[in-house]
Amino acid sequence: MIYELRGYVFRPGTLAKYLATLERSTTVLEPAAAQYGGVLAGEDGVLNRIVHLWHFENRQERATIRARNALTPEWQEFVSRIIGSVVQQQSRFFEERSVRCLP
């Protein structure tokens, strides 16, 4: 299992608009709903930033789902509405390890 933390930094004053657009665009994430863990936001460190949590069996599953979703009209429309607000994006990957640390 791999986990992806996909972070976005938005221009000041546009984060609320992004979140509202995301809420109205429920069909955008629907094809990958099983892999979606949610939206995380903080109020310290980098401002105007959110992180989406995703989980996949492996990188191939991730690539397949992302490629398929990128072709949908819903995704293309969603991206066209928010792309001007994004200042930076970053993906970080974490792999599950089988370490026994609890009894």
Res 34: pLDDT: 83
Q: What confidence category does residue 100 fall into, taking pLDDT thresholds of 50, 70 and 90? A: confident
Q: How far apart are CA 54 and CA 35, in angstroms?
A: 6
Quote the pLDDT of residue 91: 95
CATH for the stretch 2-95: 3.30.70.100
39 Cβ contact list (under 8 Å, min separation 6):
19, 22, 50, 51, 52, 53
Which pLDDT tens digit goes with each residue over 11-49? 999 999 999 998 888 788 777 888 899 999 888 888 999
pLDDT tens digits, one per residue of 36-85:
999 998 888 889 999 999 999 999 999 999 998 889 998 899 999 999 99
Nearest alpha-carbon partner for 88 in 18, 8, 6, 5: 8
Nearest to 15 by CA among 42, 54, 53, 45: 42
